[in-house]
Structures are given as structure tokens and as C-alpha cells.
Amino acid sequence: MSKVRTLDDKVNSLTQLLTVNECNSNPCRNGGTCFDTYNGYICKCPSNWEGVTCETDVNECAIYAGTSFGCQNGATCINTHGGYSCQCASNWNGIHCTQKFDDCSTASHQELCGHGTCIDEKRVQPGQPKYRCICDPGWQSSSSSPACTEDIDECSGSQRRCSQNPLVICINLPGTFHCGPCPAGYTGDGYSCADINECESNNGGCSMQPFVQCTNTIGSRLCGPCPAGYAGNGVHCSFVGVCSINRGGCHPLASCIENTAMTGTYRECRCPPGYIGSGEGLQGCVQAAGMSCTDNPCRHGTCEVAGQSFRCICFAGYYGTLCDQEEDPCLSHPCQNGGTCIRRPGNFSCVCSEGYQGPTCANSKSRCGGYLTGNNGTLQFPENGVHYDHMMNCAWIISVDEDKVVNITFDHFDLEEGHNCEFDFLQLNDGPNAGTRVLGRFCAEDLHGQNFASTHNELYLWFQSDSTVAATGFSLNWTATQPVCGGVLPVADYGSVNSPGYPGSYPRNRNCSWTVKVPTGKRIKFLFATLQLEHHENCSYDYLKIYDGARSTDPEIGTYCSTVTPPPLTTSGSTATLIFHSDYSNEGTGFHIAYSSIPGVHGCGGTLTAPQGVITSPNFPDVYENNLNCEWLIRIRPENRILLTFEEFNLEGHANCRFDRLEIYEGSNDAAPLLH
């Protein structure tokens, strides 16, 4: 009986334990869910609490450290009851501090930087925006603002922009400058002016019939006097007859007789009866009666008695009865090498032809200037290796094959020193004339061994010397080399790309490719400061193309071939390719493009360093956006290996993965071996 009672007591006790719900007392804290069990309960805690009754706060800062769920980019994780918060570094914001402040996105580049491009910079003080401006050419920032609103007065700087000899006015304009025209007698674009030798064309405008000697001068020319028998200013000479002008130079008593059948300027002076002499000049006729050697009748000679009269023995250079007629010194053709003889009183002078100098044009001048061709060669000036002459103005053009550029190296350089090279100088221009982009103007520099390269197949050298100190000149070697155009730019948050030769004209027949990269996880924003390309409706001639990736097979997001400045262009990823092409004709200024990094799409790319973690496509599990280019870099300890396990994979299908794709590389970039 007692056994039955004992069994009954146990059944009643068990029934009571089964029927009592321990969850009625709400033992689970902090939002935990209670599950009744036999003689107890179980609390299912929220993710941010733990313990039997969910009474212990989970330290998320420790659990999520080093994962994509933790605080990123140097933020400080602060654990709180039931959660955690991230105290971001000065340049980051967001729940996990994954969003970088882009202070350039708060307004347009023009509003922030005026005539410049805004480049976002890392904030130093929390809440204090920070950026800087890259100014367009011709503009600068003021001391009170980073905006490029202050015009650079190119005309007032130490560097003389326009020609100094002759002096050409420099006109400052907002963001640029302009040189006035070269003065009369010079040719050029105002940046540089060269003297025009007016005498080389149509005798400089001086009379051709009769011929009047033209003498070139700096900036002008001089016409000689009209010949005997002609009246005028040397430009126009009219025949009036020799005897009609001052009686042809005859004695007042002599008769002036013209004979145009012999020459147009022939005349004879005849003394009247009873007079002797040449008839020329005030002493050309003297009375013959009673004259003897005691009267010293011989003007330029000695007198000898001859019976009842006398005879004059003339000195060299004179003739006539009284030795009063001067011989023409030009009759012996004393001017050599094509020089022109001009008769002077008692002497003569020579006007030398180009390349010769000296009293009789017997000395050769230093060879100066010329058109030099060939893919290699040497230029030495002066050729004799001694001092160059004063007042020289020389220009050389070095030309190589059209698909090459000119590369010069100086072996010797010695010119007169002067402030801003105002005395003697050698100027290098990137092209065939002085109007192309100036590579440099040199005078006192030590250029021995220095190298300069053009971007075209021609290089212009301009040498000028003044009237004082001279030096030993220069010598150089030139070779034709393949043009260097494009390249892989270093990874940076900002930079710029210029067409070859900018700000001068770009060369013809050129193909260039640049690869632009910003830090992984960011995108690239291109801003066009200058765009001046040959226009064509299909961009079949000269063009610039931009691809959204590291290869020209990636999507093309921009094609340009005009002079219209396009709006900013943004890539989907951290890499872009720029390809420039010019054809065989026409060229323009080209382009100057600034670029900067901007934040990428949230969840699109990044660097992961935790020993384990999760990567999802942007917006997962919802549909990702179009035109994305995301890059993740997983970096762990060198002795470990990485195992990737796909839990879900759903991309747009294509046999060659032409549209959407995921590529995995065994390395730190896309140049490493492709695993899948």
C-alpha cells in the first residue's frame, strides 16, 4: 500500500512540474525569448546579448574586429549595452565609418574652385571640410581662399612672354595673355619676331630701272641715291638728263654735252676756246694763255715745261690735261664675291652679298642657320670653334622622319650671361617655327650632357647675339627616336593627363594610351579643362576615347573629337584607359584633363584583412546595379592560404562571360594569374 502511495506522490509531483510554466515569471531579459522546458526554461537571446537569462552584453567590438561588420578605417569601436557604436576618424562617416567625406561633392567645381579643379583631401579636424584646387593655366589662388579666382598677370612677371627685340607689347587677359603684332619690318607671331630682309624681294621696293642699291637694316631698309641723270628718292627715279642737274657738274663756262646713244648717263664737259682743262668742277676750265708751271696748273700731278707751254704728269687715280679728273675706282671691280662697288669721293665702298664681309667682301661670315635633315647629325656654331659674331640672328630647323621625334644632347654650351637672357640666347621650340611651344631659352646655363626631346618630328633653334660680349657658342648631336606617348600612371587620388606637346599643338600620326588608377574601391572623376581636337561627326580623324577599365575591350564611356568642353565623366571602378589618335593632317591644342578619386558604390570593393569574412555583391540579396566595376583585395598572413566558398551565385549568363562576370586572381592585382 505504501508503494502505491509513493508512486502516486511521484506522479503528482511530475504532473505539477510538467504543468508549471517557468516562463510565466519572464526570466529572459533584454528582449530574450523564453522557451519552457521540463523543470526549467531556455532563453533565446538577441544577437547583442548572451547568458542564461540574456543578462550579459555581447562585446561586438571584440567579435567584429577585423571584419566588414566592425568599425572601419581607423575608427574607435565603443561597446554599449545592447549594441556598439563607431567613433569615426576625421575623414570618415557612416555607421561603420565606411563612407569617406568628399568635400568636393558639396557644390560644383566652379563654385568651390572658380577656374580650377577641386581635389578632395583628408580631413584633419572632425567636421572641418578640407579640399584644394588645381588651378587652370593663367589662374591662381589668393591668400584668403583656395579658389582659383585670381588672374595671373603673365605680362608683369620676370619671364618675358613677348618679343623683347624688337619690343612687342604684352596684353594680359583673364586667364591668359596675348602678344601684339610684330612691328613693320619684322615677321613672327609677337612671341618672337625676326627681321625681314626686304632687299631679297623686288629689291626692297627700291628702283629697278634705273637700278638703285637696296641696303637691309634691322626692321627696315635703305634705298641708295638715284644715279646721275635721274632725280628722285631712290624708290622712284625719273630721267631728267645729266646736264639738267647742276649742269652735269661742268664748269660754269664749259658746255655740257649728253650722248645717250653711248650710255644713259654719259656727258662731256667742253671748255670754251682759250681755256683748257677737263671742264668739270669749278677749276675745270682755266685760261691757257700765259699759263706756265709757275702757276701750278696741275691739280693732282706734277708740272713739266714743254717748249712755250707745260705738261701735267698725273698722280695715280687722276687724269686729264690738268690732272683734275678722278678715275672711277669701281672700274677695276675691287668688290669680291658678288659685292657691289659704290664710288665715294677719293675712294669707294663695297656692299657685300649675303655671307661675306670686309672692305672688299673678301671675308666669309660665320654660317648661320639652315634646314637640317636626317635621323642623326651634329650642329656646331660657330663652325670654326672660336667666338661667334655680334648682332647675329640665326634659326635652324632639325627635321627627322615623320613618325619619329628629335632628341638633342649638348656637348658644349657657352653664351654671354644676362638676366632673363636679354643679351645672347639660344631658344628651343617644339615644332618647325618660333610660334610653337617654347621648350626653353638658355644663355648662362651649363647644358653639357643635357638632353631635350620634341613631341613633333621637327625642332626649331633660334640664336641671337647683341653688339657686345661674345662667347664660343654651342655644339650638339641629334638623333631620331620613337615618341614616348602615354603609359601607366601611378596609383593616386588625383592627377592629370595631357595630349603630347600640350599646351602647344599635338603631333600628327600619333597613338597614345594611358592607364589611370585610383585606390581600390574608389571611382575616377574626369574633368576636362581643355579640349581642342579636329572635328569630325564620326570621330574618324583625331579622337580621344575613354574606356571603363584597364583594357580597350572594356566598355567605352566617352569619345571626343571637337572643341566643345564636355561635362565631367565618372567611371564605375578604380581604373580607366585613355586612347588618343591623330591622323596625318591638321592638329589642334589637344587636351588637358584633371582627374580625382571619388567614393565607390557602398559594398563595391575594398581591402579585407580579417582571417575570415563574407563578401557580397552590392545591394545583396537584392539586384545589383548596372555598370559596376568592383575590386576586393583579401590580404592575410603570408603563411596562410585563402579558401573561398560560394553560398549563392547568380549573374547574367553568357557563354564567354561577356556581360557580367566575377574574376578571381591569385595575387594583388589583375596582372596576377587568373584562377577563375
Q: State residue 629's pLDDT score.
A: 79
Q: State residue 122's pLDDT score.
A: 80
Same structural domain, 444 and 377: yes
- Do the bridges between strand 486-488 and strand 510-517 make them parallel or antiparallel, or are there none, so unpaired? parallel
Residue 345: which CATH number? 2.10.25.10
Report the predicted TM-score, pTM, of the whole model to 2 decimal places.
0.45
Q: Measure Cα distances from 269 to 253, 256, 310, 316, 463 in Å.
A: 10, 5, 22, 22, 55
The residue range of the domain holding 107 is 103-151
Of 363, 387, 406, which residue constitutes the final position of a domain?
A: 363
Residue 34 in any domain: the answer is yes
Same structural domain, 409 and 466: yes
Is the four-CA dihedral 30, 36, 39, 43 of positive or negative sign?
negative
Q: State residue 490's pLDDT score.
A: 92
Residue 446 in any domain: the answer is yes
Of 417, 452, 481, which residue constitutes the final position of a domain?
A: 481
Q: CB–CB of 49/82 below 8 Å?
A: yes
Instruction: Kindly give the parts of the chain with pLDDT less than 70.
Output: 1, 9-19, 260-265, 289-290, 307-308, 345-346, 354-356, 363-367, 385, 676
Same structural domain, 40 and 78: no
Residue 562 in any domain: the answer is no
* Number of domains composing the chain: 6
Same structural domain, 376 and 457: yes
Same structural domain, 336 and 397: no
Neighbouring-strand partners of residue 106: none
Q: Under 8 Å CB-to-CB from 566, ≥6 apart: which residues?
A: 528, 531, 558, 560
Q: State residue 633's pLDDT score.
A: 85
Of 363, 389, 408, which residue constitutes the final position of a domain?
A: 363
Could you give the angle at the alpha carbon of 559 between the alpha carbons of 556 and 565, nearest 5°? 135
d(CA 112, CA 482): 42
Q: State residue 460's pLDDT score.
A: 93
DSSP helix/strand/coil, 350: strand
Residue 293 in any domain: the answer is no
Task: Assign 3-class secondary structure to 453-474.
Answer: ECCCCEEEEEEECCCCCCCCEE
Q: State residue 264's pLDDT score.
A: 58
d(CA 49, CA 29): 9
- Do the bridges between strand 92-93 and strand 99-100 make them parallel or antiparallel, or are there none, so unpaired? antiparallel
Cα-atom radius of gyration of the chain, to the nearest Å?
47
Q: Under 8 Å CB-to-CB from 510, ≥6 apart: which residues?
A: 483, 485, 500, 580, 581, 582
Residue 146 in any domain: the answer is yes
Residue with cell 576636362: 528
List the beta strands (DSSP E) in 62-192: 76-80, 83-87, 92-93, 99-100, 116-120, 131-135, 139-142, 145-151, 170-173, 176-179, 186-188
Same structural domain, 430 and 343: no
Q: Which of 215, 465, 208, 187 is nearest to 354 (CA)?
A: 215
Same structural domain, 373 and 452: yes
Residue 260 in any domain: the answer is no
Same structural domain, 112 and 5: no
Same structural domain, 35 and 86: no
Same structural domain, 135 and 73: no
d(CA 668, CA 650): 25
Residue 427: which CATH number? 2.60.120.290
Phi-psi region of 191 (alpha: psi -120 to 50; beta: other; left: phi over 0): alpha
Same structural domain, 370 and 477: yes
Q: Under 8 Å CB-to-CB from 457, ≥6 apart: which residues?
A: 399, 400, 401, 402, 403, 404, 405, 406, 480, 507
Q: What element of type H or E holds 61?
A: helix 60-63
Q: Which of 132, 134, 114, 135 is nearest to 124 (CA)?
A: 132
Same structural domain, 53 and 41: yes
Residue 176 in any domain: the answer is no
Q: pLDDT per residue over 273-301, tens digit each?
A: 777 777 888 877 877 766 778 778 787 88
DSSP state for residue 530 in the 8-state scheme: E
Q: State residue 295's pLDDT score.
A: 77
Residue 378 in any domain: the answer is yes
Q: State residue 428's pLDDT score.
A: 93
Q: pLDDT per residue over 355-367, tens digit each?
A: 667 778 876 665 6
Could you give the angle at the alpha carbon of 206 between the alpha carbons of 202 and 210, nearest 5°? 100
